[in-house]
């Protein structure tokens, strides 16, 4: 399984989703932290308001009223009392302690900083760090847990009243911070969904011109289609499509001009060959006359084969659905009717998309070679997953292994098995391979272990 998409649209979409997801997660974390900060400020303000109000009220009350006020002010988790000495024996050390002490001094208009003392005890790891800070009071060394009220386990605030009495306020009651905002998460999930859908639409539109370009290139290689593509998409893609259209047009013009040139050569050569054939009839020596006529016939055969090769190389036949099994059986039957040793093995019907006239010529060339040099042609059709294989086997002498690829070159001959007397021109295999390649397939030769040669065609199904 690929960890990274293989298509341009997939990679663009994955990058867009990844960046959006990262942005959403970062925004959610910042939003949650901001909510906690606002909650902490509210909790701290509430605590300072209680202590400040209680200090002002107690400062103006007598002893009897003070106890009644304290009884009414105590809430769950609180401990409030008055004493001659503060319950906090040190000045503030932690940033949160400093912040609370400064705020109370300012709100109560106290000039003496020692009149307010704060001791904060934190939960879990913060508690251990705070305890270590209190034990290890080294100048310049800081052990500071997060200054958040909801991280407190307990806080003690001692405030000196105007008469020297100390108000000792201790509380363990702290509200938990708000959870993740459900509506916010739902909106972020909806935003991610909209980004994914819009990103999919945009990525597919961006990748469509490249996909069409790839299909056009493949179609041009198989069918010689020269219809220009519409120049759509980003600027770089439009430039690429324009360059492809220009290349396709130049190649098509080159192929057309070459075919026209070969047709002109054929037309011009047939006239002198015919004239030479007529003049040969006036040669009195029968042996020279026969040899000259044989040479002229060979020239005509070479010329016809060359023109056929050029036509197949630039064929404009349209692909269509064809019963390949029926086509092979009919070819085998035609050769059998002529007295040749041919047979067929394979399914009775197999429909493929191909150019039947061109493919039939390629198969005929291979069957003719098998019969000419191997005295037998056994044709097999083997359908596989996604591909099909055609094997044409003979009983001939085979081909030296080092020449199995070289024989596909035009006019190449294996001298031990092929010569001019057989009538071959050396273009049959070249024509066959050109046609098979134009179908997006492969053609190669193999020597059989039991003797003979096997021509193997593999075509996409």
Give per-residue pLDDT as tens, 66-119: 888 988 888 888 899 999 999 888 877 888 888 888 899 898 888 888 889 999
For the domain spanning 317-460, the CATH number is 3.30.565.10
In the numeric block, which tokens belong to residue 273? 């060959």
Question: Which region among 158-167, 381-390, 412-421 has the lowest average model confidence (pLDDT)?
Answer: 412-421
Distance CA 95, CA 409 (A): 88
pTM exceeds 0.75 for this model: no
pLDDT of residue 253: 82
In terms of average pLDDT, the best of 5-9, 142-146, 419-423 is 5-9
Give per-residue pLDDT as tens, 219-246: 776 655 567 888 877 788 888 888 888 8
Give per-residue pLDDT as tens, 304-348: 766 666 665 545 677 889 999 999 999 999 999 999 999 999 999
3-state class (DSSP) for residue 279: helix
Helix (H) or strand (E) holding 395: none
Give per-residue pLDDT as tens, 362-377: 999 999 999 988 889 9
Residue 427 makes CB contacts below 8 A (sequence gap 6+) with 305, 306, 308, 309, 410, 411
* Closest C-alpha to 221, from 436, 438, 387, 430: 438
DSSP H helices, 80-181, are 95-108, 124-135
For the chain, percent of residues with pLDDT exceeding 90: 18
**DSSP conformational letter for 85:** S
At residue 211, φ and ψ (nearest 5 deg) are -65, -40
Q: Is 241:209 a contact under the CB 8 Å cutoff?
A: yes
């Amino acid at each position: 399984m690929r960890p990274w998409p293989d298509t341009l649209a997939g990679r663009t979409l994955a990058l867009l989703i990844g960046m959006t997801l990262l942005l959403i997660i970062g925004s959610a974390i910042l939003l949650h932290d901001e909510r906690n900060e606002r909650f902490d400020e509210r909790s701290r303000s509430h605590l300072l308001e209680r202590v400040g109000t209680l200090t002002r009220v107690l400062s103006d009350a007598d002893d009897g009223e003070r106890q009644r006020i304290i009884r009414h002010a105590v809430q769950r988790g609180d401990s409030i009392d008055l004493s001659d000495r503060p319950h906090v024996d040190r000045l503030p050390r932690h940033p949160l302690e400093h912040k609370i002490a400064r705020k109370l001094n300012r709100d109560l208009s106290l000039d003496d900083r020692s009149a307010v003392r704060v001791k904060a005890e934190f939960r879990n790891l913060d508690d251990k760090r705070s305890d270590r800070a209190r034990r290890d009071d080294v100048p310049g060394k800081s052990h500071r847990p997060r200054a958040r009220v909801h991280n407190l386990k307990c806080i003690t605030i001692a405030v000196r009243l105007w008469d020297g009495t100390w108000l000792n306020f201790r509380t363990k009651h702290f509200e938990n911070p708000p959870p993740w905002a459900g509506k916010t998460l739902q909106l972020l999930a909806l935003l991610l969904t909209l980004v994914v859908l819009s990103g999919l639409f945009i990525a597919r539109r961006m990748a469509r011109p490249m996909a069409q370009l790839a299909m056009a290139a493949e179609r041009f290689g198989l069918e010689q289609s020269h219809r220009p593509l519409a120049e759509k998409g980003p600027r770089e893609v439009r430039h690429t499509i324009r360059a492809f259209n220009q290349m396709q047009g130049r190649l098509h013009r080159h192929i057309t001009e070459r075919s026209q040139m070969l047709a002109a050569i054929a037309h011009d050569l047939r006239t002198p060959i015919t004239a030479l054939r007529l003049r040969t009839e006036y040669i009195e020596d029968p042996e020279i006359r026969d040899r000259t006529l044989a040479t002229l016939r060979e020239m005509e055969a070479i010329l016809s084969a060359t023109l056929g090769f050029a036509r197949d190389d630039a064929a404009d036949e349209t692909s269509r659905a064809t019963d390949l099994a029926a086509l092979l059986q009919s070819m085998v039957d035609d050769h059998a009717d002529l007295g040749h040793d041919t047979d067929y093995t394979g399914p009775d019907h197999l429909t493929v998309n191909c150019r039947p006239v061109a493919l039939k010529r390629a198969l005929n060339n291979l069957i003719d070679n098998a019969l000419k040099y191997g005295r037998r042609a056994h044709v097999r059709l083997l359908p596989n997953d996604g591909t099909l294989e055609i094997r044409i086997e003979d009983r001939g002498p085979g081909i030296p292994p080092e020449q199995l690829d070289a024989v596909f070159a035009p006019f190449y001959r294996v001298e031990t098995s092929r010569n001019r007397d057989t009538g071959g021109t050396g273009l049959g295999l070249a024509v066959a391979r050109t046609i098979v390649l134009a179908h997006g397939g492969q053609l190669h030769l193999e020597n059989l272990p039991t003797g003979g040669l096997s021509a193997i065609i593999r075509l996409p199904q």
